[in-house]
Structure 1
């Protein structure tokens, strides 16, 4: 399944050190980017920027081959029975059976420990 999925990895480096990496959205920056400052009276001031962003694109496979039918009949039977038996392992019992659910404990008439003077120490 993962061979058919394409995804993009966005990375932010400050100097040569990796600051953040993200798969879903843009990578979080370190906050040290230098922006271009302009004013109406002077020219733009540019400073060297130590930060850089890198984007890596991993492309997935577009063509898949169905290899199940390339197997022999016995191999197909083994794969099918293994899959079915593995999936059946996770079926639970319909009702939990508790054999002593309706059992009532007998009433205590006498305290046997006190009568026989036997104490657990």
Structure 2
């Protein structure tokens, strides 16, 4: 039970790691002087009121900073043709023996499956003083 639960947790975790390694996003920051005014993830950061005054006065105290986190573009996928002949033969033999190597036993009828034992009133071995040594 716990082994099955751990298996599900680890496979979900690995799937999330693959998902987040391939996602790209941008983080945009707007500074007014040395003070961080706004941060925007996936959207543009809001500008402050000083930005409108800067266009009139031609002073530059505001600055925008854009950080781009680039995800992985290609996942390495290899085909069977990339393997040499010995590795292909081993892979084929391994999968064949895994699929067809195990045969299940035929279902056997258990004659005493529905048998209920008699109620034990007293321990007969102790009463008769007969012990297996």
TM-score by length of 2: 0.39
Structure with a larger share of its residues in helix: 2
TM-score by length of 1: 0.42
